[in-house]
Structure 1
Amino acid sequence: MNKLNNFADLAGILANDRIAKASQDETNAAAYNGAFIEHSELAKLSVMDAPIATEMPDADMARAAVELAVGTIFDVFRDTRMEEFAQQIVWGFVNSFHMTARLAEGREDDAAKKLGELARINDSSEIHAVEMEETQMLCQTLQGCREALEAMRDHASAVYRVETGRPFTATRGSQVSRSSATASQIAARDFLAARSRQRNEDHAPTGPMVVVSGGQVWHDHEMIWDLLDDIKERIPEMVLATTGMRKGVDAIATGWAQARKVKSIAFVPSAAHGQSAPFKRNENLVRLRPVEALVCEGSGIQANLAQRLRGAGVPLHIRRIDDQRSQQGRTRA
């Protein structure tokens, strides 16, 4: 481990390295430039506040700040006794971006609902016109803030995945990305609700669905990635559906989706169905008419899913634990 004379030397080395990495990532640059847009010269963040002339943060500075804040934790803890804690700390950091973006989205939805109600009122008065104008400004301002927060969350999530080899998965709600440069992770509850309401493509992707499920103990990332790459080559517009486990096959597949910019839906069993929840989830997955599936050996839940998929005539790839390659000498870029 390198020893430095003072904190300033350490900070300078880490900052320069991380900023250089951020500046070379054209995908993130495009996402930030598309999100940090000022819809109007004025901004309004609440019903009570008057519009003010204020700007969005600089996109390049925001990108460098996220790279430094997230990446430096890994840099400082690397090769020390605290290395294992870096993942937990950064997960919390990424999740804070996610939850804040969802709060902004809720306020944006409330403003949009109010704007719709005002638009339906037949009132030609100046007071009504001003209220509509300011409500629209509120909605646009919150939209811009939400998109900027999502861009920063997706960037932080990408750094997390590169450093840990695992995808960031939010504990609550969908991780929807409006930018085509990043993948979206959609919670099954949001997906089914959006589907029933004919909501937008962000929450109800309509591409051919490919189902992946497997046990929580699985080391052969290459096997999963190679199979999914082959499927995506044949089905470019595929949407990935997993059974929502945070370890093993499902986590590997979710990491693949993030790397390949494929939308994914996590079908976590509903606690309302008790012990039968995983099997009810399997039934619902098959009802969505997937076009192909990969099931890896796990428990009776995977066996049940494979049986249902085969009965429905879905093209099915089965992989057993013994099919995995040796853990020695395996790497994945």
Structure 2
Amino acid sequence: MYDSFTAQLAGLDLTGFSVQPAPFNETDFPAEEASEQTLSAVWSDLFALFADTALEADAEDIAWGFVNLFHRTATRKSAQVDRASDEIRALLSAADGSEVHSSNLEEQVERAQASEASMLAFEHMREVAAMLYREETGASWKPMTGSRVAHGKNLTSAVIDARDFLKVRSERRRAALTPEGTAVVFAGGRASFATTDEATSYANNIWATLDRVREQVPDMLLVHGGDGKGADRLAAAWAERHEVQQLTFGLDRRLGARAGFKRNEQMLAMAPRYVIAFPGNGVTERLVIEAKARRITVVDRRGSLGTKPGAG
């Protein structure tokens, strides 16, 4: 069988035959409005299915996974762009002026452009799904590991020169990973409440406080610990609703009991305009003390249900 197949291949005339990526055209991608409408419809139908059933308690996990589908695909596309960019650099370094080399370089740039356009399309779908997740759960969606990076909407379809492509790619990545604005540190722990009304009052106090601080700091960059529960979660949801950039400092578990205090140092190193403090543990208390020692204005809401201490 093997010999027969080899003989068949040998008999084929493959002169001039090559395998190339499909021609890249940015209009081949779904329109953003169409993506938004379709995802909203799918989301509505899917989660209406769970309502008032035994599966309703699992709806949030399913919702998270729905967003993660687009996030993982966008991440894979980003890796493809990285690999194509490496190929472009290698081809540039080996430039010999030949027609074959120029053709290979143009093909690789086109491949990179197509991968990047796909990445941007899936990132947009992820952001739409993340908005639906927030509306459904009241929480900001974030991946299990890594960051949720958005590279913007502008495609590089007009880029022809390989060096220009690499430059645009580098600048876009740097912009996506470097948030800008005036730092405001937010801190608070996890809390339990006797009634739903108390929990609602606490959440409303967090959002109202952030609203007032943002009036003073329009270019706010919200800095927090990124906890998926408690005060951080409510602050993250507020930031996403108001399109405020966020920077999270996770705990370095290798530091043991010192992890929280090390995070305090990192957040205060941002030279924040304000530190907003809601009820927490001893790490939050130390953050307030150190902020005051540095003459950073503290918005203290460590009283009952997130009010000013001593109020009422």
Same fold per TM (> 0.5)? yes
Structure 1 residues 288, 324: closer, same or farther in 2, change over 3 A?
Answer: closer
- For 1:50 and 1:296, the matched residues in 2 are separated by 58
SS across alignment from 2:97:
coil
Report the Cα offset of residue 127 of structure 1: 1.7
The AA in structure 1 aligned to 2:191 is: V
- What are the residue-to-residue correspondences of 1:13-32 with 2, within 5 Å? none
- Mapping for residues 1-333 of structure 1, pairs under 5 Å: 50-53=20-23, 55-179=28-152, 200-217=174-191, 219=199, 220-324=202-306
For residue 138 of structure 1, give the secondary structure of its aligned residue in structure 2.
helix
TM-score with structure 2 length normalisation?
0.77
Output one character per residue of 1:124-167: Cα deviation in whole Å (capped at 9) or x when no partner.
11121112111111111111111111111111111111111111
CA distance, structure 2, for counterparts of residue 158 and residue 289 of structure 1 = 30
- In 2, Cα distance between the equivalents of 1:237 and 1:176? 19
Distance 1:231 1:117, change over 3 A: farther
Contact kept, 8 Å, 1:214 with 1:296, in 2: the verdict is: yes
Q: Secondary structure at the match of 2:129?
A: helix
CA distance, structure 2, for counterparts of residue 73 and residue 233 of structure 1: 38
Distance 1:267 1:75, change over 3 A: same
Q: Which has the larger radius of gyration?
A: 2
Query: Which residue identity is paired with 2:69?
Result: S
Q: Give the SS at the match of 2:21.
A: coil
Deviation at 1:311, TM superposition (A): 1.7
Deviation digits for residues 61-91 of structure 1 (CA, Å, limit 9, x no counterpart): 4323311232322212223332221111111
Counterpart residue type for residue 210 of structure 1: V
Q: Is the 8 A contact 2:32 2:124 kept in 1?
A: no
Deviation of the 1:323 alpha carbon: 4.2
Once the two structures are TM-superposed, the CA of residue 178 in structure 1 deviates from its matched residue by: 3.5
Q: Any gaps of 5 or more consecutive residues in structure 1?
A: 1-47, 181-196, 326-333
Question: Structure 1 residues 203 and 170, CA, compared in 2 at 3 Å: closer, same or farther?
Answer: same
In 2, the alpha carbon distance for the partners of 1:144 and 1:266 equals: 28
Letter in 2 for 1:222: N
Given that residues 209 and 240 in structure 1 are in contact (C-alpha distance below 8 angstroms), is that contact kept between their aligned partners in structure 2?
Answer: yes
SS in 1 for 2:52: coil
Measured against aligned partners, the alpha-carbon deviations of 1:196-221 in whole angstroms (never above 9, x if no partner) come to: x9x72211113111111101126312
Going from structure 1 to structure 2, the CA distance change for 1:76 and 1:321 (only over 3 Å counts) comes to farther
- Of all paired residues, the percent bearing the same amino acid is 30
Question: Using the alignment, how far apart are the partners of 1:102 and 1:49 within structure 2?
Answer: 25
Q: Give the number of equivalent residue pairs.
A: 262
Do the aligned residues in 2 keep the contact of 1:111 with 1:135 (CA within 8 Å)?
Answer: yes
RMSD, matched Cα: 2.3
